[in-house]
Amino acid sequence: MPVLYYIRHGETDWNAEQRLQGHRDTPLNARGRRQASHCGGILRNLLERDGRTAADCSYVSSPLCRARQTMELVRTALDLDPNGYGVDNRLIEISFGDWEGLTLPEIAARDAEALAARERDKWGFTPPGGESYRDVTARVAAWYATVTRDTVVTAHGGVARALVAYFNILPHEEAVHADIVHGVVYVFAGGTMARYA
């Protein structure tokens, strides 16, 4: 099974405001750009530790600009062409539909019952106009089936949680609550996930 060096995109202003981003195309803020460059340094050390060079891996990003900006900063830190990577739409963040741009308190004020239903079954719950973690895991699994060599990925917290579920690292109902943070490189290998900060 190919190893994934997985990086959640750096922070955006909406992350700082705790707004659900989903498919909204929000850019990195200054802190997020620093986090992305920091991850490039972590990745360089991990590849050296594993006896690999940066050129030994494939590179793929979510299509959203926060993930692409992160990839370009990571590749710059690795002394690679910042634009020499692929994009796969199956790595886009979970869609929160009508809830995108809102904070959880704002959602609670609009539809407390739906938010409570999400808390009871975060794995299967679909926000209005959005998708469930079950849906995301199916598309991420379809993407992983095409991966043929060790790959550096820049994507999102929801996509990482889907991988945790897909690889059975945690049960589905726990995977959807996994803490996936900025400024960390996650290594998915052999059915485990390790984190490096």
Predicted confidence at residue 68, as pLDDT, reads 98
User: Is 93 labeled as catalytic in the residue annotation?
Assistant: yes
User: Is 48 labeled as catalytic in the residue annotation?
Assistant: no
Identified catalytic residue from 11, 38, 72, 93: 93
| Number of separate domains in the chain | 1
What value, to the nearest 5°, has the Cα angle with vertex 185 and ends 61 and 38? 90
Which residues, given as ranges, of the chain have pLDDT below 70? none
Distance from the Cα of residue 152 to its chain's centroid: 12
Predicted confidence at residue 72, as pLDDT, reads 98
Residue numbers of the domain that contains 78: 4-196
Q: Which string of DSSP letters, residue by residue, matches 38-91?
A: HHHHHHHHHHHHTT--GGGSEEEE-SSHHHHHHHHHHHHHTTS-TT--EE-GGG
Predicted confidence at residue 142, as pLDDT, reads 98
Query: Would the pTM count as exceeding 0.85?
Result: yes
Burial class, 61, CB count within 10 angstroms (exposed 0-12 / middle 13-18 / buried 19+): buried
Predicted confidence at residue 46, as pLDDT, reads 97
Contacts of residue 107, defined as CB under 8 A and 6 or more positions apart, other chains included, come to 20, 99, 114, 115
Predicted confidence at residue 20, as pLDDT, reads 98
Predicted confidence at residue 18, as pLDDT, reads 97
Predicted confidence at residue 126, as pLDDT, reads 97
Predicted confidence at residue 173, as pLDDT, reads 95
Please report the sign of the dihedral spanned by the C-alpha atoms of residue 179, residue 148, residue 75, residue 44: positive
Residue 69 belongs to a domain with what CATH number? 3.40.50.1240
